Structure 1
Amino acid sequence: MASVKSKAGANNESSPYRESARAGAGSPSLVAGAASLSLNSSRAYALEDFDTIATVGTGTFGRVFLVRDKKSRGFFALKAMKIPDVIRLKQEQHVHNEKEVLTEVNHPFLIKLFWTHHDERFLYMLMDYVPGGELFSYLRSRGRFSNGTGLFYTSEIVCAIEYLHARNIVYRDLKPENILLDHDGHIRLTDFGFAKKLSDRTWTLCGTPEYLAPEVIQSKGHGRAVDWWALGVLIFEMLAGYPPFFDDNPFGIYQKILAGKLEFPRHLDFYVKDLIKKFLVIDRARRLGNMKNGADDVKRHRWFKTVDWDAVPMRRLKPPIVPKVSHEGDTSNFDVYPEDEWKKEPPVPPKDLEIFKNF
């Protein structure tokens, strides 16, 4: 339930579980190695505590496995990342950022991290398994969502973003592939490889081309406002079935984003068009969500007039899609991946391992 993407520059990989394990590792030899710590759990784990059931995501330098705790019989997602690939792709800082952010957060709409670990070949992150699959899959199968369905997902995402921003965390990778549905149909944001704790601005070019804010493309330094821009893109894609800025190559996409020209399908609700326009404002000082009242300005927008904002984080809104999940370890909502043995990686030299000594 994490993603394993190349974090160098803008990347456009497919999906959280699909790219899971932001690094790559073959069936991790479940062998205990160095540093382990317990995060959102009172228990310290070891790799031998788990049986590997299936691969539920792959990516540039990792995999996400569904694993089962031999003692409790509970299911988890284990993200395994190949250390040599993390280093080759210069993703060391992103991996550390992901751990730092996930260690700090606890929210019903965010993935939970229970344990991190490394041995001489791989980095591991143990997270909760979210069996409903990616929002991306449901959007592609339906073509587009109704106004009410888009409103439900947007409301839950607004609460997740508000929570992160209150902790000075910018997410930077909002897209349908990184939104999982739990067995009841509520959202969980996953793949925090681009997330970062901000002191001021950051300059790294990262994200998915169609979702990048203008200030990221222009390398002006960016902050939390990029998440509100991405939300505007996401709402458009959910309700139209395609993103507002697309082209055959990233450069063409960037040109369209900077031109800022929006063409709405005719069926879109008047208020949602107004909301999208207010998110997709090139001047971030005037972008909804990034002004003095922050997320409160967003919540007060007319499109949300029927939403009881106190009920949203309590998971009291009725989900429009309830995934078909037969049991906690059901993998039917994810793609099937060949369970090939990963190439046996040579152990990483001690000087390289030193980078991850606190992981």
Structure 2
Amino acid sequence: LNPDCASSSLCPSMEAPSAEARAAELRTQTAMQASQPRKKRPEDFKFGKILGEGSFSTVVLAKEQSTGKEYAIKILDKRHIVKSKKAQYVKRERDLLSNLDHPFFVKLYFTFQDDEKLYFGLSFAKNGELLKYIRKIGSFDETCTRFYSAEIVCALEYLHNKEIIHRDLKPENILLSEDMHIQITDFGTAKQLTDSKQSKANSFVGTAQYVSPELLTDKSACKSSDLWALGCIIYQLVAGLPPFRAGNEYLIFQKITKLEYEFPEKFFPKAKDLVQRLLSLDPSMRIGCEEMGGYDPLRRHPFFETTSWDDLHLQSPPKLTPYLPAMSEDDEDCYGNYDDLLSQFSSMQVSQSSSSHSLSAPESLPPQRSSSNIEQYIHDLDNNSFELDLQFSEEEKQLLLDKQTTGNPWHQFVENNLILKMGPVDKRKGLFARRRQLLLTEGPHLYYVDPVNKVLKGTIPWSLELRPEAKNFKTFFVHTPNRTYYLMDPSGNADKWCKKIQEVWRKIYQSHQGPGL
């Protein structure tokens, strides 16, 4: 038809539509709009607890009002994004997540915005970060380590086949779904390699303990950088701590560029070989990289010889079980002579007859106090350890505290609380153990002190959920809601620690509940 034609008689199609035609067209448009899902809005959701916080975003658990389905909604502040010049990272994360369809990654279901914020609706991984479980149980046994390492390998193979590098792979960014499979998250620093010729991304991103050496030396990351991070994670699953550790980021980076790390003695041999093949300074020599034949050699590594790769996402994950190798008698040597250290410490703190004198008992009581047979409450277990019976009166408690203040060098660490039991323990974190002086006090508190450097290293958080458990004569656990502490009493009195902790727990619990309960 000639668009310049002005005569309706010559161009019947240009005639004004009838009322029926207009109504039909309106019905068609309404039907089309109804078939398209309405853009979601904040008021469609009931927002709950905060799941995580980043530098310019907060992840919140949210339930959709109409369906009852739960999502992890990432909320980003527009003004802060613009001010920080992070718009490209936000767009990149949205685009990359939209391009992923794999069970081992979080899924992006929808996005929407209002005047101030952007919203990403992500799958909710109910069991939280992998790091939480490493901290909770210390280290994984070989079966658990193999299973979760294999899932990470599958995820990285999928990602790299799509020419994407994550660049910040770490236990905090590996979530666990309701059925305990991994879901990798946080693609804010990920990079899409635009073509086959681009094999590197030239910007510094990542977390210190997992940063690859090429990022430090050449300021560039590649697919193999993710394999380096995989090696660090496998090491951490077994040992309980990442391989490169130091007091600050600079010292960590120095260790990474020098490949300066050590394996604990009881590290699984096949896992050790795999980690060594992943932690290569030369990215082209890491098992799994394209120059080394891709992912087939990595899958065939002896550590994965029992792994069924085809249906990992359908398998039932193994129960998370801590790796607790028995400590040999020779392990005592790695802590030094504790009695010598204690003797040096005591001579610096108190002027008593010798290091063999009981730390709990000065030779005389303060003269201003009335006499009381408080010695009946004190039980010396050996030169370095003692415990108190708990039946003393308030007056006797003050006498005991006066005695502790003048005669016990550990008093300075307990905030003027009366020590109810003390002694040396080996505090284990993964496969690493350190000698500590454990101090159970009123409050109640469980302090642990570095006897070499004379520094309070921390406290075991006390709550009504705290629960001690003796594993054998030497080893005992202290279970707390967020972590299990693994301790070893070198004198073989683990049961005494558990009984005294339980006794203090009962005393505190009964005081909360009242005498009639």
1:311 alignment partner in structure 2? 311
2:296 alignment partner in structure 1? 296
Flag the structure with higher strand content. Answer: 2
Shift of 1:317: 4.5
The answer as to whether partners of 1:82 and 1:122 remain within 8 angstroms in 2 is yes
1:346 alignment partner in structure 2? none
2:183 alignment partner in structure 1? 188
The answer as to whether partners of 1:184 and 1:319 remain within 8 angstroms in 2 is no
TM-score normalised by the chain length of structure 1: 0.75
* Aligned match for 1:113, one of 86, 108, 113: 108
- Report the residue type matching 2:232 in the other structure: V
Q: In the aligned structure 2, how far is the partner of 1:43 from the partner of 1:275?
A: 50
Shift of 1:44: 4.1
2:142 alignment partner in structure 1? 147
1:229 alignment partner in structure 2? 228
Aligned CA distance change for structure 1 residues 87 and 219 (closer, same or farther; 3 Å)? farther
1:245 alignment partner in structure 2? 244
1:173 alignment partner in structure 2? 168
The answer as to whether partners of 1:68 and 1:76 remain within 8 angstroms in 2 is yes
Instruction: Indicate the SS of the match to 2:221.
Output: coil
How many residue pairs match? The answer is 283
1:278 alignment partner in structure 2? 277
**Deviations 1:16-75 (CA, angstroms, capped at 9, x unpaired):** xxxxxxxxxxxxxxxxxxxxxxxxx97742222111122222222221111111111111
Shift of 1:265: 0.5
Aligned CA distance change for structure 1 residues 198 and 145 (closer, same or farther; 3 Å)? same
**Deviations 1:284-313 (CA, angstroms, capped at 9, x unpaired):** 11111113421112101110000011121x
- Report the residue type matching 1:157 in the other structure: I
Instruction: Indicate the SS of the match to 2:290.
Output: coil
The answer as to whether partners of 1:135 and 1:181 remain within 8 angstroms in 2 is yes
Q: In the aligned structure 2, how far is the partner of 1:198 from the partner of 1:57?
A: 28
Shift of 1:129: 1.0
Q: In the aligned structure 2, how far is the partner of 1:249 from the partner of 1:88?
A: 29
**Deviations 1:209-257 (CA, angstroms, capped at 9, x unpaired):** 1100011112342211110000000011111111111111111111100
2:62 alignment partner in structure 1? 67
Q: In the aligned structure 1, how far is the partner of 2:60 from the partner of 2:107?
A: 15
Gaps in structure 1 of 5+ consecutive residues:
1-40, 323-332, 335-359
Q: In the aligned structure 2, how far is the partner of 1:182 from the partner of 1:88?
A: 34
Higher relative CO (Cα under 8 Å, sequence separation at least 6) belongs to 1
Instruction: Indicate the SS of the match to 2:149.
Output: helix
Aligned CA distance change for structure 1 residues 271 and 168 (closer, same or farther; 3 Å)? same
Q: In the aligned structure 2, how far is the partner of 1:209 from the partner of 1:147?
A: 26
Q: In the aligned structure 2, how far is the partner of 1:157 from the partner of 1:88?
A: 35
Q: Is 1:216 paired with 2:215?
A: yes
Gaps in structure 2 of 5+ consecutive residues:
1-35, 322-480, 483-517
1:83 alignment partner in structure 2? 78
TM-score normalised by the chain length of structure 2: 0.53
Q: In the aligned structure 2, how far is the partner of 1:268 from the partner of 1:162?
A: 26
Q: What is the aligned-residue identity percentage?
A: 37
Instruction: Indicate the SS of the match to 1:266.
Output: coil
Q: In the aligned structure 2, how far is the partner of 1:299 from the partner of 1:183?
A: 26
1:104 alignment partner in structure 2? 99
Instruction: Indicate the SS of the match to 2:73.
Output: strand
Flag the structure with higher helix content. Answer: 2
Structure 1: 4+ residue segments shifted above 3 A: 41-44
Matches for 1:3-14 after TM superposition, within 5 Å: none
Aligned CA distance change for structure 1 residues 42 and 267 (closer, same or farther; 3 Å)? farther
The answer as to whether partners of 2:167 and 2:221 remain within 8 angstroms in 1 is no
Instruction: Indicate the SS of the match to 1:48.
Output: helix
1:161 alignment partner in structure 2? 156
- Report the residue type matching 1:219 in the other structure: D
Q: In the aligned structure 1, how far is the partner of 2:135 from the partner of 2:241?
A: 10
**Deviations 1:337-356 (CA, angstroms, capped at 9, x unpaired):** xxxxxxxxxxxxxxxxxxxx
